[in-house]
Amino acid sequence: MSWERNIVLKSPAEIEIMQQAGHINFLALEEVRKHIRPGVTTDKLDQLAEQVIRDHGATPAFLNYPGPYPYPSTINTCINEEMVHGLPTRKIELREGDIFSVDCGTVWQGFVGDSAFTAGVGEISAEAQKLIDVTREALRLGIEKLRPGNRLGDVSAAVQEWVESHGYHVPREYSGHGVGRNMHEGPQVPNYGTAGQGLELRPGLTIALEPMVLVGTHRTRVLADKWTVVSADGSLTAHFEHTVAVTEGDPLILTQ
């Protein structure tokens, strides 16, 4: 894929709309976060997120998103070894000690806000907490590199080096991406790479940066539902994401 394909620089007015979309998305995720506890179903959390989005006059970006079949829910819900694209269901309840990742997208006035977080359910193991902390910090370090004049490889390398310095792994098949009027725009932003290489960052570029981290291997597989991606060895995974705009100065996080 060309780094330049489908890249759309946003105007300050468009970035302001994206920030509004991102704020609604943040509110939806915070409503989910408040209800993460043992016994709650992932379907219930999906309903809560959709209600917040619709109450603000926005629409869920993930619902009916094309894939092996139209995505049926507002959020992605992933537990333990599930990394991304998990399907909410009334059949699955969160359990004490799980780690739970939720990804959400919101469309407001034609623009998308996209973000994700991972949290523990009740008391979790020290290893699970370390994984969450390392993944959250990988996102922060990647965001710090989203500055004009840097290259995409600087962002990807910052994430990879931090994650691998803790003995963890990043997937090769799944990555961050440009975002704007479409959920997925150029450029592709892998969580691995070489500093100094790739597209030069310019003001107006809007990126959904999303470190995905696996404990045991970088390899993944897709479950029979054709959406849910899990670690190939069944080890724990975590996922954090923000939509970020490159500006003339500091990176601007649009989903908080």
181-215 pLDDT tens trace: 999 999 999 999 999 999 999 999 999 999 999 99
Please give the average per-residue pLDDT across 144-151, as a whole number.
98
d(CA 189, CA 245): 14
Please give the average per-residue pLDDT across 146-172, as a whole number.
98
d(CA 110, CA 251): 22
Give the per-residue pLDDT at 1: 40
* % of residues, the chain, pLDDT over 70: 98
Please give the average per-residue pLDDT across 155-172, as a whole number.
98
Give the per-residue pLDDT at 4: 52
Please give the average per-residue pLDDT across 55-84, as a whole number.
98
d(CA 41, CA 93): 4
Phi and psi torsions of 238, nearest 5°: -145, 165
Give the per-residue pLDDT at 5: 62
Q: Looking at per-residue confidence, does 79 or 256 come out higher? A: 79
**pTM given for the model:** 0.95
Domain boundaries, the chain: 12-253
Please give the average per-residue pLDDT across 205-226, as a whole number.
98
d(CA 68, CA 53): 25
Q: Give the burial string for 186-211 (b: 16+ CB within 10 Å, else e).
A: bbbbbbbbebeebbebebbbbbbbbb
- Whether 42 shows a pLDDT value over 90: the answer reads yes
Give the per-residue pLDDT at 119: 98
**Is the CATH code 3.40.50.1000 the one for domain 12-253?**
no
